[in-house]
Amino acid sequence: MPCTRGDVNSKTLLSPIVKQFSHNCHVSFYHTPDLRWPLNRLLPHRYNELIGLQHMKFYLIDNCVIITGANLSGDYFTSRQDRYMIIQDHKPLSDFFDDLSRVLCKISFQLTPDGKFILDKEFPLSPVSVTQRGEYLKRSRSLVLDMYDGYRTRNTTAVSPALSSTQPPDTWLAPLIELPPLHIQLDSRVTKLILSLARDGSCVSLGTGYFNLTQEYVRAMLDKPRVNYSVLMAHPTANGFLGARGAAGGIPYAYTALAARFLSRVSNLKVAMFEYVRSGWTYHAKGLWYSESPGSKPVLTLIGSPNFGKWSRILFCIYYLR
């Protein structure tokens, strides 16, 4: 399990809590079904996440939801620039994230009070089993889509009266999910749609700590040469991988090289690129903002954990806010 890497890890941190508060504490560990034998035996532990990982970051307290790209490690509270949005007193949205969390926990490994990993009693299929792979993917996809479609149906029914009102809502919010191993890619489809429908003279701003746009996004931008684009990314000195041991230490400069290659490819577009630099700080914020004209306030934004990159085997959750 990737969470057991090193002497101090997620399992060693959470096991005492589960043991002491087993009556009201539940901990699950997602494992991508793409990391199975023989890859899980051949790949070094630190490179496991190249195959896939759980990247959703949302925090739910009663009817309040915080969605962000931030983890809960110490530097996010002290010296790591990130982005957070709080939606308060919104029961339908809170219920959605509660249901999403429950479904993802069900298809994951469960941490027991004695520090072992077991399967959920109601979902006894292992994501790493070669023989159960097909059934695991089929049933997992069905559980997630049933949950999502149920929310969408209930929400559509609830907002229908508002659509015909003389004073319709001025803000729309929609949660999107991205689970590539289960062939669920709502976030990337909506992101591509936004880029494809951007009007001439409008502005699209992207923020990402790790700049490596997918070819689909680049092609969508190339098809809109009259749109103004701006990109904010981490300077090598503000990249979280700076100073890492081994090959990982070169990652910050690799992203700068990718940005330079991107600029040369889109030389006919109006693109402004910026690098975040702040002494002692790293940059991890991500998102998309759409404005109807230069200098005007955004009318649409995406907030969540995606980096808009080619790392396509990750689980994401994102807000579409308009």
User: What number is the average pLDDT over the span 134-157?
Assistant: 93
User: What number is the average pLDDT over the span 35-54?
Assistant: 69
* Residue 17 domain flag: yes
User: What number is the average pLDDT over the span 20-37?
Assistant: 89
- Tell me the pLDDT band of 223, cut-offs 50, 70 and 90: very high
Say if residue 145 is in the same domain as residue 212.
no
User: Residue 170: pLDDT above 80?
Assistant: no
User: Residue 314: pLDDT above 80?
Assistant: no
- Could you give the residue numbers annotated as active site? 55, 57, 62
- Tell me the pLDDT band of 312, cut-offs 50, 70 and 90: very low
* Residue 248 domain flag: yes
Which one-letter amino acid corresponds to residue 297? K
More confident residue, 160 or 122: 122
Say if residue 225 is in the same domain as residue 113.
no
Residue 235: helix, strand or coil by DSSP?
coil
User: What number is the average pLDDT over the span 219-243?
Assistant: 95
What are phi and psi for residue 312, nearest 5 degrees? -95, 5
Tell me which of 60-64, 81-85, 244-248 is least confident: 244-248
Kindly report the average pLDDT of the chain as a whole number.
88
* Residue 83 domain flag: yes
Which one-letter amino acid corresponds to residue 303? I
* pLDDT in the model for residue 167: 75
* pLDDT in the model for residue 313: 46
Say if residue 306 is in the same domain as residue 189.
yes
User: What number is the average pLDDT over the span 201-217?
Assistant: 94
Say if residue 219 is in the same domain as residue 139.
no
What pTM does this model have?
Answer: 0.89
Number of structural domains (the chain) is 2
Say if residue 200 is in the same domain as residue 278.
yes
Six-digit token pair at 156? 């559509």
Say if residue 143 is in the same domain as residue 57.
yes
* Residue 80 domain flag: yes
CB 32 within 8 A of CB 73: no
Length of the chain: 322
User: Residue 106: pLDDT above 90?
Assistant: yes
Say if residue 315 is in the same domain as residue 183.
yes
Of the CA atoms within 13 Å of residue 93, those in its CB half-sphere come to: 24
Say if residue 104 is in the same domain as residue 215.
no
User: What number is the average pLDDT over the span 16-27?
Assistant: 94
Say if residue 212 is in the same domain as residue 119.
no
Domain boundaries, position 279: 172-321
CA separation for the pair 109, 107 (Å, rounded):
7
Q: In a 10 Å sphere around its CB, with 0-12 CB exposed, 13-18 middle and 19+ buried, how is residue 108 labelled?
A: buried
Say if residue 134 is in the same domain as residue 248.
no
Say if residue 138 is in the same domain as residue 184.
no
User: Residue 168: pLDDT above 90?
Assistant: no
* pLDDT in the model for residue 246: 81
* Residue 162 domain flag: no
Say if residue 137 is in the same domain as residue 224.
no
* Residue 66 domain flag: yes
Tell me which of 38-42, 119-123, 257-261 is least confident: 38-42
- Tell me which H or E stretch contains 102: helix 91-106
Task: Choose the most confident range, by mean pLDDT, from 126-130, 142-146, 297-301.
Answer: 142-146
* Residue 251 domain flag: yes
- Tell me the pLDDT band of 101, cut-offs 50, 70 and 90: very high
Pick the last residue of a domain from 153, 184, 203.
153
